Copies of this chain bind each other. A is one copy, B any other.
Amino acid sequence: MRYELYYWPEIQGRGEFVRLALEDARADYVDVARLPKHSGTAALMRFLESRSVERPPFAPPFLKAGDLVIGQTANILLYLGPRLGLAPKGKAGQLWAHQLQLTIADWVAEVHDTHHPISGGLYYDEQKGEAKRRAADFRAERLPKFLDYFERVLERNPKGTGYLLGKAVSYVDLSMFQMIAGLRYAFPAAMARLEPKYPRLAALHDRVSARPRIAAYLSSPRRLPFNQQGIFRHYPEIDG
């Protein structure tokens, strides 16, 4: 099956968690809004605004898989995981993987709000004061809380393989690579200070980035660079 991913063509954003899974599995997919012959976001917007879509997504990313249209990043990965060989085979393991992915989704939203604490519809400069205050709390409280949690999950995996769950890599590990990479881009000072406490997360980041298909993807033009339009943005004044 050829999967069609619909996401903003200029940013990694939430779409990147899906792209990493598709790339690692070498799945047959098209990143619709980035096709050369398409006018960027036009196909995406046409779909979002269509009156004939019976099950409209609230926002990108969404995935077309045959007749299905699946929205919400974690839901897309819930669907794709077993099909791409990137999730446990059993239902209990799949629920656990999804639970971790949903916690990553919460974390992503909090990262976003460090630079947009008031409104996604305003520029950063219009909410810079609030951003400084929210980011200070994020660096002091929330960032360590999430890092503590996932380091603990790695530590408690009874398989002891260095992956978040079970014996093999899963889409959650790929997402965790993206979190660490993004946080290093957005908060280099805070992460340099915190990271020595989280050796398992750093090792997981390195293990994922060394996977041949991920390494090939990361050095290809398909991998968009981090930038100041995405979820992870580097503003030195909110890095502490």
Task: Give A contacts to B, CB under 8 Å.
Answer: 53-58, 67-68, 70-72, 74-75, 78-79, 92, 95-96, 98-99, 102-103, 106, 109, 113, 117-119, 121-122, 130, 133-134, 137, 141, 149, 152-153, 156, 158
Contact = CB atoms under 8 A, between A and B. Distances in A.
A40 B70 CA distance: 40
Contacts of A152: 56
B119 A137 contact: yes
B134 A103 contact: no
Contact of A70 (B54, B95, B141): B95
B102 A75 contact: yes
Q: This chain: how many copies in the complex?
A: 2
Contacts of A133: 118, 130
Contact of A57 (B57, B99, B121, B141): B99
Contact of A74 (B102, B137, B149, B158): B102
A78 B98 contact: yes
Given A75-B99, A102-B74, A137 B118 contact: yes
B117 A134 contact: yes
Contact of A56 (B57, B113, B118, B153): B153
B109 A156 contact: no
